[in-house]
Chain A
Amino acid sequence: MSSFTLPFFPEEASSIAGEVDAMFAVWLAISLFFTALIAALILIFVVRYRRRADDEVGKSEHAGIWLEVTWSVIPLLIMLAMFAWGAKVFFVAHRAPADAVEYWAFGKQWMWKFQHPEGNREINHLHVPLGQAIKLSMTSEDVIHDFAVPAFRIKQDVNPGTYTFTWFRPTRIGTYHLFCDQYCGAEHSKMVGSVIVMDPRDYAAWLAGGAAAGQSPVAAGAQLFSSLACVTCHEMGPGRFARGPSLQGLFGRQVVLEGGRTVLADEAYIRESIVQPLAKIVKGWQPIMPTYQGQVSEEQLAQLIAFIKSLGNAPAMATGAEHPPGTLAPGDSGITGAASAPAPQK
């Protein structure tokens, strides 16, 4: 950056950056065309039809309906085409591919905290391997933030109390700006960091030598699961005494609630069930679970979710085998058959 540069475009460093830029280039061409057209017409008309005598008046004509239709329909068609293209890119940007590895991000005033699937933690910097699709599950500990990496052409608000997701596949080694794009208070402009894209071998070496290495979220979640004594009610194997529904194979399924409604067991559902256990009662179970609000941090919540996700789907577990006689909660587990494939596991 020592030499004087006049930047126009940010670097393209993700799999969707090229298409976003292409779309922008097409829009730019369309805009230039119409702006030039209007400007040229105005210039030609004002010169050609400039007033030559004080009492001169213009020649009024009635509107030509076909002219009006033309200049309504042509812009409309162009916009609809661009809309379709934009929606396509947007959908791609919202659907993480099957091979995506899940990382966690936590926004708080005014820093970013990241957790790798291997357990490494970072603050304001995120190291990722080149070519690997990364799915970020994000939440905020206070106000609304926004995770934005211009070089990847992605951006996603990070909300308190729920999870949002984004994903990217880095395509170029380098260090890229990470910005908070949603105004979040005094040091908003300091809530910046970087995403460091590394060669996979370098990344492995970095992981191994990382000072901040720790347990993986799944392992940490498993430990929490026992230290918080979750396991006393949510038994992990068949045939044991249970006061709460089994969590085996829960993630990604439809859960039948008391009152007949069903809900998808996603991150937000599991989070709510830990923080506000009585908000949604699984059909056939008693509302006896205490709240864990304030007892577990956002990061611990994420670890618990990661652990519950890791329990995978074990179809045998979801059948009636887990209801021993004399339990507090007769009835089925509330978990219907595998409605959808569970989220990809690492």
Chain B
Amino acid sequence: MHSSGHVALQHHFDDLDTQREASTFGMWVFLCTEILFFGGLFLLYVIYRQRFHGVFVQASRHLDVKWGGINTAVLICSSLTMALSIWAAQINRRKLVVVFLLVTMAFGATFLGIKAIEYGDKFHHHLVPGANFHYACPPGEECHPEQAQIFFSLYFCLTGLHAMHMVVGLGILSCLLLPAWRGRYNAEWHNPLECSGLYWHFVDIVWIFLFPLLYLIGRHVA
């Protein structure tokens, strides 16, 4: 469908299709960058996990699987509602787009809230790396506070970077609300929605990797 007179068409594109393809493709390229960005930290995690296996398993017991599990469910649901808002645009349901966007943002905020509870808990137990870090070794087990500190450093870097991506995602979605309310996204043109959705799903997928790596694997359920 050529729509050369469309309001969303930018000056340097010939038609809306080219513009859509370009921005979707650009988002995919950006996500490749993001994978490598997280990749450096994942690599550090994998190497240190292999090196300090025992302590990493031990320290991971300080993470709360319940909260982590709830957060995983919250994020998966948010990805669903994100996809549903795109679907709503495709069938020209203006209000439904807004509703699903709001629900998605609510899920995202819930995730961050739970994350804040977890962070607060770590802070309370002196598990935040730095001057106040104090790691009490479980009795009768190997005791390496400095290795545990590396575990928590990586935990905070990885989840912190992820949380920052969530914040950015919430910012992007909030920018979409008004245009969505005005009916800018419809069956003909909903590309910003689609690209934001790609980003949102990516951030979700990063968590899908983080949760088992940090919370689950190697864990001895006593």
Contact = CB atoms under 8 A, between A and B. Distances in A.
A281 B143 CA distance: 12
A87 B54 CA distance: 37
Interface residues of B, number: 5
A276 B54 CA distance: 14
B207 to A, nearest CB: 31
Nearest to A261: B53
Contacts of B54: 259
Interface centre among B141, B142, B143 (most CB of A within 10 A): B142
B134 interface: no
A174 interface: no
A278 interface: yes
B27 to A, nearest CB: 38
B94 interface: no
Interface residues of A, number: 6
B137 to A, nearest CB: 9
A292 to B, nearest CB: 15
B93 to A, nearest CB: 58
Interface in B139-165: 141-144
Interface in A261-303: 276, 278-279, 281, 287
Q: Give the interface SS of chain B, mostly helix, strand, loop or mixed.
A: loop
Contacts, number: 11
Nearest to A278: B142
Interface in A110-145: none
Interface string B123-148: 00000000000000000011110000
A278 B142 CA distance: 6
B49 to A, nearest CB: 14
Contacts of B143: 278, 287
Nearest to A287: B142
A278 B141 CA distance: 9
A281 B53 CA distance: 13
A287 B143 CA distance: 9
A276 B144 CA distance: 8
B193 to A, nearest CB: 48
A287 B139 CA distance: 11
Nearest to B51: A279
Nearest to B55: A279
Contacts of A278: 142-144
Contacts of B142: 278-279, 281, 287
A230 B144 CA distance: 21
Contacts of A287: 141-143
B115 to A, nearest CB: 32
A118 to B, nearest CB: 37
Contacts of B141: 287
B147 to A, nearest CB: 8
Nearest to B142: A278
A345 B143 CA distance: 35
Contacts of A276: 144
A340 B53 CA distance: 27
A334 to B, nearest CB: 16
B75 to A, nearest CB: 35
Interface string A223-261: 000000000000000000000000000000000000100
A297 B148 CA distance: 25
Nearest to A281: B142
A279 B141 CA distance: 11
A287 B54 CA distance: 13
A287 B144 CA distance: 12
Nearest to A279: B144
A192 to B, nearest CB: 34
A277 to B, nearest CB: 9
A272 to B, nearest CB: 11
Contacts of B144: 276, 278-279
A278 B143 CA distance: 7
A88 B76 CA distance: 55
B70 to A, nearest CB: 33
A2 B144 CA distance: 59
Contacts of A279: 142, 144
A287 B137 CA distance: 13
Interface string A29-47: 0000000000000000000
Given A278-B142, A279-B142, 9 more contacts: A259-B54, A276-B144, A278-B143, A278-B144, A279-B144, A281-B142, A287-B141, A287-B142, A287-B143
Interface of B: 54, 141-144
4 A-B pairs with least C-beta separation? A278-B142, A287-B142, A278-B143, A278-B144
11 contacts: A259-B54, A276-B144, A278-B142, A278-B143, A278-B144, A279-B142, A279-B144, A281-B142, A287-B141, A287-B142, A287-B143
